[in-house]
Amino acid sequence: MSSNHPLDQLYRQVIMDHYKNPRNRGVLEGTNVDINMNNPTCGDRIHLTMKVEDGKIADVKFEGEGCSISMSSASMMTQAIKGKNVEEALRLAHIFSDMIQGKEYDDSLDLGDIEALQGVSKFPARIKCATLAWKALEKGLHDH
Amino acid sequence: MNVKEIRSLFPILHQQVNGHPLIYFDSAATSQKPLPVIEALDRYYREYNSNVHRGVHTLGTKATDAYEGAREKVRRFLNAKSAQEIIFTRGTTTALNLVASSYARANVKEGDEIVITYMEHHSNLIPWQQAAKQTGATLKYISLQEDGTIDLKDVEATVTPATKIVAIAHVSNVLGTINPVREIARIAHDRGAVVVVDAAQSAPHMKIDVQELGCDFLAFSSHKMCGPTGVGVLYGKRELLEQMEPIEFGGEMIDFVELYDSTWKELPWKFEGGTPIIAGAIGLGAAIDFLEQVGLDAIAAHEHELAQYALERLADIEGVTVYGPKERAGLVTFNIEGVHPHDVATVLDAEGIAIRAGHHCAQPLMKWLNVTATARASFYLYNTKEEIDTFIAALQKAKEYFSHVF
C-alpha cells in the first residue's frame, strides 16, 4: 500500500507501535490510585492503576480493551506521566485535550510520542477514543 | 424491484463522501428518506400545519384528517383489527416503556416472571429489568443456540405458568436472526403470558400481520423504515389497552377534568398526552405508502439476496468472523482478526462506506458472543450487490493496511 494513504495521518507508525507493543500494560498491586473507566457508546474500557508518592507518579500501569487509538493513547500516556509530578501530569492532560480537539496548544513541553495523536483531531468520531485514558488519569489524580 | 429507480428517490444517496460515492450500510441504525416522505413533511408544514382534534377551522380539520389517516395506514400495514389499537409514540423505546410501565405495573406481582432473550436490544431489556425490580418479579432469559437462534424447547422450558410477560425481538439488530414469534406466542399464551414484540428491525423489512403473529403488543420506529425520526408505534390488543392506565397526563388525553379528578379519552388518545407527533405520523404514513408501493415481499427478497451475497463474499476474506445464523435478515455483523471494529469503520469511512461499529446497544449479547465490539453492515431496499463488492474490496484494504502498519 502506498505511503501516502489518507489514513496515514491518523494511523501513524508510532501509534501502531504502541498498539502492538503497549508500554506499562498490566495492573499494579497495592496502589493508591485505581480507576476503571469506559466509553459506553463504543465499549472501550481502561483500568488504570498508579502509585502516587510525595506528589509524584512513581509507577503506572493500564489494562483495557479498545481500538488502536484508545489503546495506543493509553500506552503513550503511561509512558509520558511515569516519574512526573501530579501537577505536570495534569498539565500534560490539559495540553493533550487542547491538541486532540484541534485547538492551539502549549508546545513548550516536549510531548514525545503523544504528538503523533495530533492527527486524530481531523477525525471527530475518534476523539473520544483518544481521550479515554487521559480522562481516567485526570479522574484518578483528582480523586486522589 | 427496480433498485435504480428506487435510488433516484433518495437524494442523500447521490453524494460523495471523502471523495467516494456514498455507500450507506447503516440502515439498521436509521434508514434514509425518500422524496415522497420528505415532500409529505414539507407539504404539511407549508400547507396545513395546525393542531389536531380541537380546531373548528379548516386547517385543523385537514391536519386531523391527515394524522388520523396515518393511523389508519398503520392499522392496515399491521393488519390490526381497529385503528384504536394503534398508538403513536416517540419510537420503539417509548412504546416498550409504555407497556413496561403501565401493563407490567398493573399485572405483574412479586413471584411472577418476565421472560426475554439474550439477543435483546437495550430498549427491550432495561424496561423489563426496571419492571422486574419495581414489581418484585424475576427476569428470566431464554438462551441462544450456538448459531444465534432460539430453540423452541428452550422457550418451553423457560416460560412457566408464573410468567406474565414474554418480550422478544422479531429480528435481532446484531445477529439478523428472525425469531419464530408466532410459535413463541402460542407457548406464552398456553401459560397465560402476554407477548410483546420489538419489531424495530422487522417492520421496515418484511410484511407483519399482528393477528397472524398472535402477539399482544408490538412496537416499531418510523425512522428505520424511511420515515422521519421522533415517531413510532405501539400496537396493542384493544382489550389489553382498555384496561391500561396512561403514563403521561395532560392535554389531548382527557375527557373531563375536575379539581381533584379527571377521566380519560377513549383509545387510542388516552395514551397520547400533549400535542401529538403530527408531522411525524404523517411522514410515517407516507413511508408506509412508499414501502407498500415497492412491496414488502420484494424488499425482503432483495435484502435476503444482499445478505446471502455478503456472507458468501465475507467467507473469502481470511480472518473474518461473522456472527449469527445463515438464514437471516438484511445485515451482517462481523470482526476482522487483528483490526478493531472502530478501526474497520474508520478505514471504510475513508472510502465513503458507512457502517456501524460498537456494541449495538446489546451489551449482554456482546458478552454472550465474547466480544467487546463488532462491526455491522446493514442493508435496505436501496443497496446493491455492486456496493457489497466495493465494501468487500475496502475490507481487504483495511486488512492489508493494518498488516502493513504493523
Domains of chain B: 3-31+295-405 (3.90.1150.10), 38-293 (3.40.640.10)
pLDDT digits (tens, 9 = 90+) for B180-204: 999 999 999 999 999 999 999 999 9
Q: Once rounded to an integer, what is the mean pLDDT over residues B64-88?
A: 98
- The cell for B139 is 427476569
pLDDT digits (tens, 9 = 90+) for B135-162: 999 999 999 999 999 999 999 999 999 9
Q: Is the ipTM of this complex over 0.85?
A: no
Residue to substitute from A3, A9, A10, A11, interface B, most B β-carbons within 10 A: A11
List the single residue in A with minimal CA-CA distance to B357: A42
Q: Are B228 and B283 in contact (CB under 8 A)?
A: yes
Longest dimension (CA), chain A: 49
What is d(CA B361, CA B123) in angstroms, rounded to the nearest whole number?
Answer: 8
Residues in A touching B369 (Cβ below 8 Å)? none
CA distance B100 to chain A (A): 24
Classify residue A9 by burial, with Cβ atoms within 10 Å: 0-12, 13-18, 19+.
middle
Predicted confidence (pLDDT) at residue A18 exceeds the cutoff of 50: yes
Closest CB to B372: pick one of A43, A125, A129.
A43
Looking at residue B94, what is its pLDDT?
A: 98
Residue A28 binned pLDDT confidence (cut-offs 50, 70, 90): very high
What domains can you pick out in chain A, each with its CATH number?
6-143 (3.90.1010.10)
Q: Which phi and psi (to 5°) does residue A72 adopt?
A: -70, -35
How many CB atoms are located within 10 Å of the residue B82 CB? 11
- pTM here? 0.93
| Predicted pLDDT of residue A43 | 81
Contact A68 B343 (CB under 8 A): yes
Cβ–Cβ of A43/B363 closer than 8 Å? Answer: yes
- Least CB-CB distance to A7: which of B342, B357, B401? B401
List pLDDT tens digits, range B199-215: 999 999 999 999 999 99
Q: Which residues of B are catalytic?
A: 361
In the structure, what pLDDT confidence band is assigned to residue A1 with cuts at 50, 70 and 90? very low
Tell me what pLDDT residue B405 has: 59
Quick check: A67 and B363 CB within 8 A?
no
Question: pLDDT category, A42, cuts 50, 70, 90?
Answer: confident
Contact yes or no for B357 and A65 at CB 8 A = no
Give me chain B's average pLDDT, please: 96
pLDDT in tens, B276-306: 999 999 999 999 999 999 999 999 999 999 9
Among B18, B340, B406, the residue with its CB nearest the CB of A66 is B340
The Cβ of residue B299 has, within 10 Å, a number of other Cβ atoms equal to 22
Please tell me the distance in Å from A86's CA to the nearest CA on chain B.
32
Closest Cβ–Cβ partner in B18, B373, B405 for A11: B405
